[in-house]
């Protein structure tokens, strides 16, 4: 696993929007904006079961992320990695935590009773920027 530099950690800890690239079953790329978090050197985001990015990760765990420092668009980071964990435990609480970070609200406003949230952890294999 690649260790994240202090500078990359600092950018992730801000209200940084990342673009997640996954691989569709036909091999074409799929890109989605995501809120990000980290667990030490793992990149973390939250999604719902059945969404395209979730289905793609189940098919192929290879992913890419790119993001820029919200305070300086010339500081960019590109990460290649693989999903090493999908976990529904405490995923509702995690999306609420991300909503506090990104929206300043206590509860994620788009909670749906009919969906199961998933915490996705990515192990970086290459970090540039």
Predicted TM-score (pTM) of the model is: 0.94
DSSP character for 110? T
The burial class, CB within 10 Å (0-12 / 13-18 / 19+), for 71 is exposed
Identify the band that residue 129 occupies on the pLDDT scale cut at 50, 70 and 90: confident
| d(C-alpha 57, C-alpha 103), whole Å | 26
pLDDT in tens, 68-122: 999 999 999 999 999 999 999 999 999 999 999 999 999 999 999 999 999 999 9
pLDDT in tens, 28-78: 999 999 999 999 999 999 999 999 999 999 999 999 999 999 999 999 999
């Amino acid at each position: 696993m690649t260790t994240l530099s202090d500078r990359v950690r600092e950018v992730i800890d801000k209200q940084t929007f990342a673009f997640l690239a996954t691989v569709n079953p036909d091999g074409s790329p799929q890109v989605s904006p995501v809120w990000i978090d980290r667990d030490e050197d793992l990149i973390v985001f939250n999604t719902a079961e059945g969404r395209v990015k979730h289905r793609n990760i189940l098919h192929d765990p290879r992913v890419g992320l790119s993001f820029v420092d919200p305070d300086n668009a010339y500081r960019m980071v590109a990460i290649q990695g693989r999903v090493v964990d999908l976990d529904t435990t405490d995923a509702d609480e995690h999306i609420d935590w991300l909503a506090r970070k990104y929206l300043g609200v206590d509860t994620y406003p788009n909670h749906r009773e009919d969906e199961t949230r998933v915490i996705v952890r990515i192990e970086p294999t290459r970090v540039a920027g």
